[in-house]
Amino acid sequence: MAKILTGIQSTGTPHLGNILGAIIPAIKMANESNEESYLFIANMHSLTQIKDKKNLSDNTFATAATWLAFDLDPKKSCFYRQSDVPEVTELAWYLSCFFPYQRLKLAHSFKDKTENLKDINSGLFSYPMLMSADILIYNANIVPVGKDQLQHLEMTRDVASRFNNLMGETFIIPEAKIQDESNYVTGTDGQKMSKSKGNTIDIFVDDKSLKKQIMKIQTKSLSLDEAKDPNDCNVFKLYKIIASEDDVKNLSLRYTQGGLGYGEAKEILYSEIINKYDKNRKKFFELMDDKQVVEELLIDGAKKARVQAQKVLKRVRANVGY
């Protein structure tokens, strides 16, 4: 049976772009697939950016609660917190000893972060080896990735092959499953929704705060009566991802006929988000009020994850000579 692995960093409460672009597709794949799925909160990766204990803990629970609020079934997947599986960091060290320094210097993510972050630590530099350990420790065959993460997976394949060639067959070489990013989730400024750009929409806030975010979506300066191109509107770009096909067609027609103002379009989008995600938002807040439920699920998931991780690490240690 093939194994599928997906992780998401806990750098904050997942925004609408994370939910639509990564979390919902991963949960659908895990719940509907016959393959074995490993879904984890990458809170050790988050330490490269977050140095506040409470912030890191709260973000981890918020990320876990989001997955659960969108109906992830922990019985069908191995759902865990990265920091609860110490075997991963041990493997990351072994892999680091088999991967050239010069290759790590070429990592796109490190170059990008050195230009945008004040805290340039060695964890950022060795990040690809921890990511490789996350994948290889579970014999993952399939790793869904965006095009921006493809280089990291190539590094994983490279270090696994190097280790296998030098120390004997040890790791399964994983394959990438490139995620369709042709319809990426638009942020409030029209660019791809991202925390680093400050253009996100957080649905896990009170209604008033959510509406305030929607009203900040940038639009063109066209009058109420003018016909508008719906596909050139940031509000509509979000609406068509969320709403039903019929509702999208109806709103599109109103754009092209004129008489629809951007303020009303934002109100329609706000109502759609409120109605569509009402159950998910309520469940999220319930879980955040009872973190013990989330904690127990994560601990149970880590126990299952460690069974597999220990098998792989035992093979690695034997082949290294320990």
Phi and psi, residue 221, nearest 5°:
-95, 75
Could you tell me the CA-to-CA distances from 156 to 96, 152, 257 in Å, in that order?
Answer: 11, 6, 52
The reported pLDDT for the residue numbered 247 is 98
The reported pLDDT for the residue numbered 34 is 81
CATH of 204-276, one of 3.40.605.10, 1.20.1260.10, 1.10.240.10, 3.30.70.240: 1.10.240.10
Domain with CATH 3.40.50.620 in the chain: 3-184+291-320
> Per-residue pLDDT tens for 201-259?
999 999 999 999 999 999 999 999 999 999 999 999 999 999 999 999 999 999 999 99
Residue 317 has pLDDT above 60, yes or no: yes
Write out the E strands in the chain. 3-9, 36-42, 77-81, 142-145, 175-178
Q: Examine the pLDDT at 182 and tell me if it is beyond 60.
A: no
Q: How confident is the model at residue 176 (pLDDT cuts 50, 70, 90)?
A: confident
* Amino acid code (one letter) for 300: D
Reported as a single tens digit per residue, the pLDDT across 17-36 is 999 988 998 898 888 878 88
CB 243 within 8 A of CB 165: no
> In the predicted model, what is the mean pLDDT of the chain?
92
Please tell me the predicted confidence (pLDDT) of residue 30: 86
- CB-based contact 88:94 (threshold 8 Å): no
* pTM of structure: 0.90
The CATH number of 3-184+291-320 is 3.40.50.620
Q: What are the start and end residues of each CATH 1.10.240.10 domain in the chain?
A: 204-276
Q: Which has the closest alpha carbon to 37: 82, 81, 78?
A: 78
Kindly report, residue by residue over 148-165, the tens digit of the pLDDT. 778 889 999 999 999 999
Mean pLDDT of 289-311: 97
- Tell me the average pLDDT across 168-183: 82
pLDDT given at position 26: 87
Checking if the pLDDT of 275 tops 60, the result is yes
Tokens 């990511």 correspond to: 131
- In this model, does residue 119 exceed pLDDT 90? no
Give residue 117's pLDDT.
Answer: 66
Residues contacting 13, CB < 8 A, separation 6+: 59, 62, 63, 66, 202, 204
- Number of other residues whose CB lies within 10 A of the CB of residue 125: 17
